[in-house]
């Protein structure tokens, strides 16, 4: 399988297009700013986030 090369400019152009679509949705009343934020967020606003001590976990589970 051959890898596809993508330039920074191509990525930025795609992001600009996505933001324009989001702005149109807001202007047309199809979505709120909050809804767009939630859709574009990596982590849901109601997600439970737990900070784990990875070093401690590794010691407890992988040390022999």
Provide the residue ranges of all domains of the chain, joining segments of one domain with +. 8-62
- 47: phi > 0 → left, psi -120 to 50 → alpha, else beta; which? beta
Note the pLDDT of residue 58.
84
Q: What is the DSSP letter of 35?
A: H
Model pTM score:
0.61
- Round to whole Å and give the CA distance between 34 and 41: 10
The better pLDDT of the pair 23, 62 is held by: 23
- Round to whole Å and give the CA distance between 10 and 41: 21
Name the percent of the chain lying above pLDDT 90: 55
Beta strands in 1-64 (DSSP E): none
Decide: 22 and 36 in contact? Cβ < 8 Å. Answer: yes
Kindly report, residue by residue over 1-57, the tens digit of the pLDDT: 788 899 999 999 999 999 999 999 999 999 999 999 999 988 877 888 887 888 888
């Amino acid at each position: 399988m051959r890898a596809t090369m993508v330039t920074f400019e191509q990525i930025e152009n795609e992001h600009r297009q996505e933001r324009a679509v989001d702005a149109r949705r807001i202007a047309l009343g199809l979505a709120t700013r909050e809804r767009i934020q939630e859709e574009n967020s990596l982590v849901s606003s109601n997600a439970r986030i737990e900070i784990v001590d990875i070093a401690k976990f590794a010691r407890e589970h992988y040390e022999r």
